[in-house]
Chain A
Amino acid sequence: MTPAILLLCCASQVCLVTGQLLTKHAMNAVNLSPVPWAKVSGRFALGIMALTLWFFLWVGLLQKKDLSYIYPFEGISPVLIVAGATAFLKEKPRPRAWLGIGLIAAGIMLVSAS
């Protein structure tokens, strides 16, 4: 893996995680009554922007590498998402969830090394 590909992978992951956190933040507000539509639409629009950036970075990577080679790098995102959801959305994953995420991350590293 070249440094440029690694950089593109990291950038795509940052965009993906940011987009997911913003989208979840928006959907949390949808469950409120009354729904604060201004906040929801603002967060949602920012989330969509981040996910759109992720999408084009991702398609750019697909043009350069095999899907099964590049896809595992998406796999670090569960760890980043859990960290982000804990820090920014105040979610509290159970210990069993951390164990599962550890297994997923280990599996992804094994796939990446193959």
Chain B
Amino acid sequence: MTNPAPSPSPTVPGWLNSYGVVWLGAVCVTVAEIFLKRGAMATAINHGFLPGFGTSALASGWTWVGILVYIASFGCWLQALRRMPLHLAFSLMSVVQVLVPLGSWWFLGETIGLYRWCGIALVLAGIVVIAAPAMRAEEQL
């Protein structure tokens, strides 16, 4: 065993353990990305003061809501980083690779083809491979 299992914090509710903050952070990232995309679409015809940077998107309220939700996700992320190795936390956060396309499809009307669904399934399988043994180890503590 090369890495210690993430330790639960006695000061937070049970569902908000090391993994709970990662999942909550992932949901926040998904919501934030959808808001950012709406803000970016609303301002795509404008050019910001730095070419290649999306500074003109700051003119949209959607972008600011997205930024606020991103800040919330960052708070969850910092809590996760305090409790588990970066490689584990970041791999688990890859669940956003599933949630964001689903959110894009559901809320933005973007299309998802067969290959994309297969890719999403592979990402999900990878997350399960990484998360399942570590989550079992935490439950046994």
Residues of A whose CB lies within 8 Å of any CB of B are 4, 8, 20-21, 23-24, 27, 30-31, 55-64, 66-68, 71-72, 74-75, 77-78, 81-82, 85-86, 89, 91-94, 96-97, 99-114
Residues of B whose CB lies within 8 Å of any CB of A are 2-3, 33-34, 36-37, 39-41, 43-44, 48, 50, 52-57, 63, 70, 77-78, 81-82, 85-88, 90-91, 94, 97, 100-101, 104-105, 108, 110, 112-116, 118-131, 133
State the majority secondary structure of interface residues on B: helix
Cα–Cα distance between A55 and B50 once the two chains are bound (Å): 13
Query: What would 12 more interface pairs be, CB under 8 Å, given A64-B44, A66-B104?
Result: A20-B90, A24-B81, A55-B70, A59-B36, A60-B54, A71-B101, A93-B88, A105-B126, A107-B121, A108-B97, A112-B119, A114-B114
A-B pairs with beta carbons under 8 Å apart, 20 shown: A20-B86, A59-B36, A59-B40, A59-B55, A63-B44, A63-B56, A66-B110, A68-B105, A75-B97, A85-B85, A91-B86, A97-B91, A100-B127, A104-B127, A105-B126, A107-B120, A107-B124, A110-B119, A111-B101, A114-B115
Do residues B91 and A31 form an inter-chain contact, with CB atoms below 8 A? no
> Known contacts A56-B54, A59-B53, A59-B63: does B33 contact A67 (CB below 8 Å)?
yes
